[in-house]
Amino acid sequence: MKQIIAVLVCISCIVTSSFSQPTLFSQRGIGGGGALFFPAINPANEDEFYVSCDMSELFHSTDFGLSYSQIHHSKLQVFNTSTYEFTNNSNIAYCNFNDGNAGYPVKTIDGGATWLQMNGYNVSTFGNVYKMSANFANPNQLLIGAYGDLLFSNDGGTSFSLVRHAANMGAGITMAGAFWDGNNIYIGTNEGLITSSNSGASFSMLATSGIASAESIWSFAGAKNGGTTRFTIITANNADIYNGVMPWEYWNFGKGVYTMDNNNGTWLTKSSGINFSNDFIMYVAMAQNDISTIYLGGNDNALGAPLVYKSVNAGTSWNKVFNTTGNANIVTGWEGFGGDKQWSWSETCFGITCAPTNSSKVLFTGFSNVQATTNGGASWKQAYVNSLDEHPAGASTPTQQTYTSIGLENTTCWQVHWKDQYNMMGCFSDIGGIRSTDAGNKWGFTYSGFAVNSLYRIEESPNGNLYGACSSIHDMYQSTRLMDGQLDANDANGKIVFSSDGGANWSTLHAFGHPVFWLAIDPNNSDRMYASVIHYGGIPGSQLGGIYVTNNLSAGSGSIWIKLANPPRTQGHPASIEVLADGNMVCTFSGRRTGAGFTNSSGTFLYDPISATWSDRSHTGMYYWTKDIIIDPSDASQNTWYVAVFSGWGGPPNGLGGLYKTSDRGLTWNNLTGVQFDRVTSITFNPQNLNQAYLTTETNGLLISSNMNIAQPTWQLVNAYPFRQPERVYFNPFDNNQIWVTSFGNGLKVGLINPNSNEEITDANDNIIIFPNPFGDQIKISAPANNPVINSVLYNSQGQIVICSIGLQDQLATSSLSTGCYFLELTLKDQTVIRRKIVK
């Protein structure tokens, strides 16, 4: 009877949600590609770890990197320096919250369901949190490294006491690491080794010898076995250490490696065999119960690749164990020796860690992904793509392969474009473009002809040609990409590329030497294309940036491009473009900042190609930082436009953000969001229901309104979408039930508008039997012998992966799952993907 009730409840929820918003999003992409930082392994479960990202997400794996989920943005957002601090109470943990400003330390007491600010830490007094360390054995004990102060709490963050104030506020006091041992607490800092023998009641600086006076402690780790407690440190020059040094500042940074036994005050050099002029070490790691095994992470300058040193004799000798040449001992994804991206893509270690009680299990992160070993570095394995897609060690990584996401997506996706039902292109920063030939299930660098940092836009002409807007500069028109110093530099990849074979092969159409952000073809003249090219140059009126046009697009690389006159007020930062059915063109210009702040050079502008004149159609709220313009699809006259605006900072630009609407081509405007959202990027209407639209924001997540036909629409958070900054929303033109969401820093996700559609209940001819349904302690799967299931992923109703089973299998263990609705995704040998709703 309970199972019948559960089914009815589930069906009721699904039917209700089918008229409101998606209930499940799945990750799509190639995995990784952007920077990841400071992994933290659970001392109570060495298969569980968290890893932070500078794009605000905290990723979570419970199977040592075979799959990932992420913490919902409404619960926790993080900095690149944030670490997940475990305790022996699974309900209690600590972290550093990214609120878009200085941030603040937070604590959960309910296993991560909620995170609360620790009011005992005064942000206005102490400022940013640079490092945290919790005592796993005592959940009440916590250390926080602020810029100028080292603080200790013995009551779970309710209050903090001062351990030490910085002697030099130019550098601050840097917490290199901490080791907890019962009543003993040891803290490595740039000012020396600080200890407590009375559980934090008092702290003192230990007098030490052995380190050159010009050097200080930068990275610290400790271990204890039997009667020996051993610390290992990496030192750097005093002048090079300060709060705020980041992992990419590795060049010639490390100067020495030392150990100390039993807090005896003497540091012994352990640098023999390390070439500090090439081996740029940054971080040290030890398991807390192994005093002999030490790892050092950094960059190998000669190879331009991540470096991992290992010692099994407490630093007497060292061996490089991450052997990138020929991928000697590394199972690779798309990055590797000979691969789509070389090892220089990851470049260095952005933190390295051991399982606290198992020195054989090690993780490190870098500019691109996660790498893992379970046998002490004898062999390594990628931990960012599906294991079925990886490549064997000891061989070059093949190029132009395809990969399945396992949830670790941390790059920016600007757009997704369908060439046809199966062939798609994704526009990304950092990794450029990626392509799928199976309707978006697997992605790869499966094309030739260009390789850029950022592919911002794809436009397709009526003859089927694809055109791409390219640049070497990423994060365009975000808060860090508004000033001339970044945007005016010569851009060798500032160009338009084109493909006449569906995206497999590309050629340069036209090189501008400056970033190209947007493309739009005139629907009345397929030979006319407009392009947004970015450049100011410092002299008003002479900028090379602006709107360019060609009237002979079909000439390919022989096409002639002419810059239009500058619209009023503008300063070379064009953004989105829409060509109207009557031949007029409307566009936005985005923000520009100088040392004095934002200039009033942004807005919405209408161009008449007959008279070659511009009209400034901007609301004053658009003068500083305008984003996308969208034409209302329900208005055949195209008089109704929507414009997304970011609020700026520093005076007049403050508080202007939101979604603006005009019904008279910009003569009058209304702000549809008021003060609800400070920064809005775009809006997309549901083609099946034009009164419904999806709104993307910088930090408020994905919103939906189902009453766009009223003066002030109401907005509701799309709870199933977990990331704070969706960029744009796209409906699959071949299946309007699919909604694809791009993002600034969390890749690409796909959801279903109507989860109760036949898309989830696949054709009976697929010969896949899943039983029982409802299920109990296990799910059994029956598939044809010639086309078995090779990969099973089970999602909960929040879109989080709860089971990821790799390889051939016919059943899944589900006894630990709670009752509710789940979504089972099965990949067959022939790469067919089957999706079913099931209930426990």
3-state secondary structure of 597: strand
Write the CB contacts of 381 (distance below 8 Å, at least 6 apart in sequence): 65, 330, 331, 371, 372, 373, 374, 390
The predicted structure's pLDDT at residue 756: 52
**Where is pLDDT greater, at 756 or 70?**
70
Instruction: Sketch out the chain's domains with CATH numbers.
Output: 2-10+764-839 (2.60.40.1270), 25-389 (2.130.10.10), 448-745 (2.130.10.10)
Cα dist from 316 to 257, 313, 320, 734, whole Å: 11, 6, 14, 63
The predicted structure's pLDDT at residue 808: 62
Does the pLDDT at position 763 exceed 50? no
The predicted structure's pLDDT at residue 804: 74
User: How many other C-beta atoms lie within 10 A of the C-beta of residue 635?
Assistant: 12
The predicted structure's pLDDT at residue 835: 80
Inter-residue contact 705 to 692 (CB < 8 Å): yes
End-to-end CA distance of the chain, in Å? 12
Query: Per-residue confidence at 9, pLDDT binned at 50, 70, 90?
Result: very low
Nearest CA-CA partner of 206 in 269, 162, 261, 154: 261
Q: How far apart are CA 39 and CA 217, in angstroms?
A: 21
* Segment 629-679, tens digit of pLDDT: 999 999 999 999 999 999 999 999 999 999 999 999 999 999 999 999 999
Does the pLDDT at position 759 exceed 50? no
Q: How far apart are CA 840 and CA 838, in angstroms?
A: 7
Does the pLDDT at position 553 exceed 50? yes
The predicted structure's pLDDT at residue 620: 98
Query: Per-residue confidence at 809, pLDDT binned at 50, 70, 90?
Result: low
Does the pLDDT at position 758 exceed 50? no
Query: Per-residue confidence at 398, pLDDT binned at 50, 70, 90?
Result: very high
Query: Per-residue confidence at 806, pLDDT binned at 50, 70, 90?
Result: low
User: How many other C-beta atoms lie within 10 A of the C-beta of residue 394?
Assistant: 13
Query: Per-residue confidence at 831, pLDDT binned at 50, 70, 90?
Result: low
The predicted structure's pLDDT at residue 790: 77
Query: Per-residue confidence at 801, pLDDT binned at 50, 70, 90?
Result: confident
- When pLDDT is averaged across residues 87-98 and rounded to a whole number, the result is 98
Q: How far apart are CA 400 and CA 416, in angstroms?
A: 19
* Strand pairing category for 593-594 and 597-598: antiparallel
Does the pLDDT at position 298 exceed 90? yes
Inter-residue contact 676 to 713 (CB < 8 Å): no
Query: Per-residue confidence at 762, pLDDT binned at 50, 70, 90?
Result: very low
- When pLDDT is averaged across residues 100-121 and rounded to a whole number, the result is 96
The predicted structure's pLDDT at residue 3: 34
CA within 13 Å, CB half, 470: 28
- When pLDDT is averaged across residues 746-766 and rounded to a whole number, the result is 65
Does the pLDDT at position 12 exceed 50? no
* Strand pairing category for 279-285 and 294-300: antiparallel
- When pLDDT is averaged across residues 798-812 and rounded to a whole number, the result is 73
- When pLDDT is averaged across residues 707-712 and rounded to a whole number, the result is 95
The predicted structure's pLDDT at residue 785: 81
* Segment 366-389, tens digit of pLDDT: 999 999 999 999 999 999 999 999
* Segment 601-632, tens digit of pLDDT: 999 999 999 999 999 999 999 999 999 999 99
List the single range of 9-18, 277-286, 399-408 with lowest mean pLDDT. Answer: 9-18
Give backbone dihedrals phi and psi of 348, rounded to 5 degrees, phi first. Answer: -155, 180
Largest CA-CA distance found in the chain, in angstroms, rounded? 87
Task: State the average pLDDT for the chain.
Answer: 94
List the single range of 237-241, 428-432, 496-500, 800-804 with lowest mean pLDDT. Answer: 800-804
- When pLDDT is averaged across residues 357-363 and rounded to a whole number, the result is 99
pLDDT above 70 covers what percent of the chain? 95
Inter-residue contact 413 to 743 (CB < 8 Å): yes
> What's the one-letter identity of residue 28?
R
- When pLDDT is averaged across residues 544-566 and rounded to a whole number, the result is 98
Nearest CA-CA partner of 432 in 556, 557, 530, 345: 345
The predicted structure's pLDDT at residue 306: 99
Element (H, E) at 6: helix 2-18
User: How many other C-beta atoms lie within 10 A of the C-beta of residue 338?
Assistant: 15
Does the pLDDT at position 568 exceed 60? yes
The predicted structure's pLDDT at residue 836: 84
Q: How far apart are CA 223 and CA 225, in angstroms?
A: 7
- When pLDDT is averaged across residues 458-473 and rounded to a whole number, the result is 99
> What's the one-letter identity of residue 763?
D
- When pLDDT is averaged across residues 202-222 and rounded to a whole number, the result is 98
Cα dist from 808 to 202, 785, 827, 829, whole Å: 57, 11, 10, 9
Q: How far apart are CA 606 and CA 623, in angstroms?
A: 15
- Token readout for 365 is 């992160």
Q: What is the 3-state secondary structure (H, E, C) of 114-157?
A: CCEECCCCCHHHHCCEEEEEECCCCCCCEEEEECCEEEEECCCC
3-state secondary structure of 86: strand
Q: Facing residues of 13 across strands? A: none
- When pLDDT is averaged across residues 571-578 and rounded to a whole number, the result is 99
Phi-psi region for residue 394, left (φ > 0), alpha (ψ -120 to 50) or beta?
Answer: left
* Strand pairing category for 330-331 and 380-382: parallel
- Token readout for 247 is 């992992």
Nearest CA-CA partner of 36 in 396, 466, 495, 346: 346
Using alpha carbons only, give the angle 749, 754, 755 rounded to the nearest 5 degrees. Answer: 75
The predicted structure's pLDDT at residue 119: 93
Q: Which residue has the tokens 């019904």?
A: 663
- When pLDDT is averaged across residues 719-733 and rounded to a whole number, the result is 97
